[in-house]
Structure 1
Amino acid sequence: MVSHGDKDGRGDENSRNIAYIRQMLAELRQVALSEGADMLCYLIEMAYVEAGDVQAGRRPRSVFHSK
């Protein structure tokens, strides 16, 4: 597993933030589903999957910034 820590010691806070984002995306997906917004539901699901990959260390946090 890839470490989420960084130079300023915010690794735990960053991990909590990603977990929070993922939780909110799950809730938003349910709202979109109840509204029948299929495309929006799909896009939120993709963001949810991406957040899970970042959380697990399978993807970098940013494709624009290197460590």
Structure 2
Amino acid sequence: MNPKPAKSALPPHTTEENLAYTRQMLGELRTVVKNEGADMLGYLIEMAYVEAGDILTGLRPLSVRGHRDPAIGMPLKPAGKIKF
């Protein structure tokens, strides 16, 4: 017998709902790390929080895929030896 996969009782969430939920959780995490004094982690979480808000309000696209500038073809030179 092959059991049928159980259907989720919850409807699928929209992208907007998922982003709003993510932003809310980031806000809560921001408070936790601020209370712990983890400055860098707090900064990174704050940036993600702002980014999620910008996407929700339409200030930024959901993805930057396809929006980046093409490579300009400049070769990268190795730094070489550092003289002190």
Report the TM-score, using the length of structure 2 for normalisation: 0.61
Distance in 1 of aligned mates of 2:19 and 2:59: 13
Larger Rg belongs to: 2
CA–CA distance in 1 between the matches of 2:56 and 2:38?
A: 27
Matches of residues 38-53 of structure 1 in structure 2 within 5 Å? 38-53=39-54
Moved over 3 A (4+): none
Unaligned runs of 5+ in 1: 1-9
Map 1:1-67 → 2, pairs under 5 A: 13-64=14-65
User: 5+ residue gaps in structure 2?
Assistant: 1-11, 68-84
RMSD across aligned positions (CA): 1.8
Q: Percent of counterpart pairs with the same letter? A: 61
Return the structure number with greater relative CO, CA threshold 8 A, min gap 6.
Answer: 1
Q: TM-score, normalised by structure 1?
A: 0.76
Aligned residue pairs: how many?
Answer: 56
Query: Matched residues in 1 for 2:35 and 2:48: separation?
Result: 18
Of Structure 1 and Structure 2, which has the larger fraction of its residues in helix?
Answer: 1
